Amino acid sequence: MKRIAITGGAGNIATQLRGFLRPEVEHIRLIDIKPAQNLATNESFFEGDLADAGAMRVALDGMDSVIHLGGLPREFDIDEMLPTNILGTYNVYEAARANGTNRVVFASSNHATGFYPRSRTITPLDVPRPDTRYGLSKCWGEMVAGFYYDKAGIRTLSIRIGNAGPYPNSERAAAIWISARDLFQLVKIGLTHPDIAAAVVYGMSRTDAGWWRDELAERLGYRPQDYTRDHLRPEPIVESPVAAFFQGGGFCDRDHDGIIRLRDENGLVVSRDAFQ
């Protein structure tokens, strides 16, 4: 919690977190390909591309920790995803290893498990079910985190962020929304908790939806302050049958043939009736 780098430092989530981080850290280095705005006296900007391994090594020089938010934030074709979300995450960890940066908070996503039915309660220990190439890239990032702990002792908290918008705008969003101050609470746990090796938690505020059960986050001390439905501002959103069935919502629609298929924890076919 002294010198912290943030990849994707010009983005919306980084902008939300900076206000909470500034009073608690010595310096924040914001890394992005576009300039970060309204720098405080203890903030600096580093222009660098995640796909550039050399730039990442320079960017993390002297940093104690890194909050890895950078990358494409939604679904793209695989040739666009590879240099940023795949190679970029690897480059961040290699740069951390080279610089002795021993803590990472990785912005994973609910889309790592988006193909679970909404009627099923899951935990971070359930097998990933990514709903997109974007979700696949987040599964890769979680695996990279485990690899670099085992190889180099870099500790990571991967946060499967639900909906980090300014407010939940649908019932789906209300099931998984996380406020800025609750997300900061998880980030701070990731940067400071002594027992974290390569842990995965869900990032959500208080909700009664029942999609996720996260005993590990509670064990680590996470106590969400905001209740999602207090902030709900519904907007007209039409979901396809596929989007409405799965936790990933509209992300599940792209390239989907419209047939809802289900499998159990052993990878065997199960009836849709089992999830009604």
So which residues are the catalytic ones?
134
Alpha carbons 98 and 60: distance in angstroms, whole number: 9
Q: How buried is 147 (Cβ within 10 angstroms: 0-12 exposed, 13-18 middle, 19+ buried)? A: middle
Eight-state DSSP code of residue 72: -
Residue with tokens 């996380």: 178
Distances, alpha carbon 74 to alpha carbons 12, 176, 204, 250, in Å: 14, 16, 18, 11
Alpha carbons 219 and 232: distance in angstroms, whole number: 28
Alpha carbons 269 and 83: distance in angstroms, whole number: 35
